[in-house]
Amino acid sequence: MSRIIEKQDLSENVVRMVLDAPAIAKKRRAGQFIILKIDEKGERVPLTIVDSDEQKGTITIIFQVVGKTTAALAKMKAGEALMDLQGPLGNPTEIENFGHVVCIGGGVGVGVVYPLAAALKKAGNRVTSIIGARNKSLLILEEEMKKVSDKLIVATDDGSYGFHGFVSAVLQNLIDSKEKIDRVYAIGPVPMMRVLCDVTKPYTIPTIVSLNSIMVDATGMCGACRVAVGGQTKFTCVDGPEFDGHQVDFAQLTNRLRMYCTQEKEAFEAHRCQCHGK
Ligand code: FAD
Ligand code: FES
Ligand code: MG
């Protein structure tokens, strides 16, 4: 069981929650995630550990409402409890002083890139961060990202704030300005990560992506989260979630993420009807 200590809406449908999880807070490192289950009949949902406080025994998650479980989670209040929390899971990010790193987050992916940027900064890297969203009201963690970056560039698709365009265009500008970049971390929607990898590949800039494959057991047993990386089958839950982006088969990942779309839509609709008392 894990109690919700704090809950805050970060944007229209992105929620931040602080959860009581002393054992996880003690062990977790940047890049790792948890699997939560709301109640007895609930499905298992993986979410990144964005932050932790060992003293208070808490962890922070940030999630976007995209379907049944995230909608149900967003309805819960501080003081209520989740039935089950498992973690920390996945391999921690490889943290070294690489030199100049560029940390890129899109949408709710900014929540996932934040702990990486913080750990990379702490390890002595020069951190340039690029964060993006469809519009200004959907942008999250700008202040937090500023604190862990030497330079922060904000981009919005509609130009309502910062650079008008995609984060990939900002990265291309940075590369064109002849800045030496030692490593790129690209985290967000699959199409965004794919384009960012296409941008860095000709310049052979190592590019790390964090994959959000569908997970069930998260112990490497069920095979649900399999991805092809460099022609080999990998399990995101135990081999990842971070991989060399230039080796990832994004087309296969996209197809696998859409595998249960019909059932997910039905479950979401049924959940909404239940909530409206129909
Ligand atoms: P559904 O309607 O069930 O699904 C919507 C879409 O989410 C699906 O089409 C599918 O692409 C994906 N999805 C569905 N079930 C799962 C599942 N069991 N595992 C993974 N993806 C699924 N999201 C965040 O908002 N914040 C995070 O920090 C975050 N971190 C993640 C870390 C990892 C390692 C992984 C694998 C995923 C992460 N996600 C994160 C994605 C999050 O798990 C899904 O958005 C969530 O499971 C959707 O559940 P749902 O029932 O609300 O939506
Ligand atoms: Fe089952 Fe990764 S979630 S093998
Ligand atoms: Mg679901």
| Residue nearest ligand 1's atom 36 by CA | 212
Collapsed DSSP state (helix, strand, coil) of residue 137: helix
Q: How far apart are CA 212 and CA 108, in angstroms?
A: 12
What pLDDT does residue 265 have? 80
Pairwise pLDDT comparison (266 vs 108), residue with the higher score: 108
Pairwise pLDDT comparison (256 vs 272), residue with the higher score: 256
Identify residue 95 by its one-letter amino acid code.
Answer: I
Tell me the per-residue pLDDT of 72-117, one tens digit each, with 9 for 90 and over. Answer: 999 999 999 999 999 999 999 999 999 999 999 999 999 999 999 9
What pLDDT does residue 259 have? 81
Is there an atom of ligand 2 within 6 Å of 214 CB?
A: no
* Most ligand 1 atoms within 8 A of CB, residue of 214, 256, 275 to mutate: 214
For the chain, list the domains and their CATH numbers: 2-89 (2.40.30.10), 93-210 (3.40.50.80), 212-278 (no CATH)
Tell me the per-residue pLDDT of 117-151, one tens digit each, with 9 for 90 and over. Answer: 999 999 999 999 999 999 999 999 999 999 999 99
The yes-or-no verdict on residue 276 having pLDDT over 70 is no
Written as six digits, the tokens of 12 are 């229209």
Written as six digits, the tokens of 36 are 């939560």
Half-sphere exposure of 165 (CA within 13 A, CB side): 9
Is there an atom of ligand 1 within 6 Å of 240 CB?
A: no
Tell me the per-residue pLDDT of 214-246, one tens digit each, with 9 for 90 and over. Answer: 999 999 999 999 999 999 999 999 999 999 999
Torsional sign, CA 237, 29, 70, 44: positive
| Residue nearest ligand 2's atom 4 by CA | 220
Is there an atom of ligand 2 within 6 Å of 225 CB?
A: yes
What pLDDT does residue 277 have? 55
Q: How far apart are CA 195 and CA 6, in angstroms?
A: 36
What is the CA 64 to chain-centroid distance, rounded?
Answer: 10
What pLDDT does residue 278 have? 46
Question: Helices 250-257 and 190-200 meet at what angle, rounded to 10?
Answer: 180
Is there an atom of ligand 2 within 6 Å of 38 CB?
A: no
Q: How far apart are CA 193 and CA 244, in angstroms?
A: 11
Collapsed DSSP state (helix, strand, coil) of residue 240: coil
What pLDDT does residue 260 have? 78
Tell me the per-residue pLDDT of 14-63, one tens digit each, with 9 for 90 and over. Answer: 999 999 999 999 999 999 999 999 999 889 999 999 999 999 999 999 99
Percentage of residues in the chain with pLDDT exceeding 90? 87
Q: How many A from CA of 115 to the centre of ligand 2?
A: 23
Q: Which ligand is nearest to the CA of 227?
A: 2
Atom of ligand 2 at shortest range from CA of 236 = 2
* Cα separation values, 119 from 31, 66, 115, 190, 240, Å: 10, 28, 6, 23, 18
| Residue nearest ligand 1's atom 22 by CA | 214
What is the average pLDDT score of the chain?
A: 94
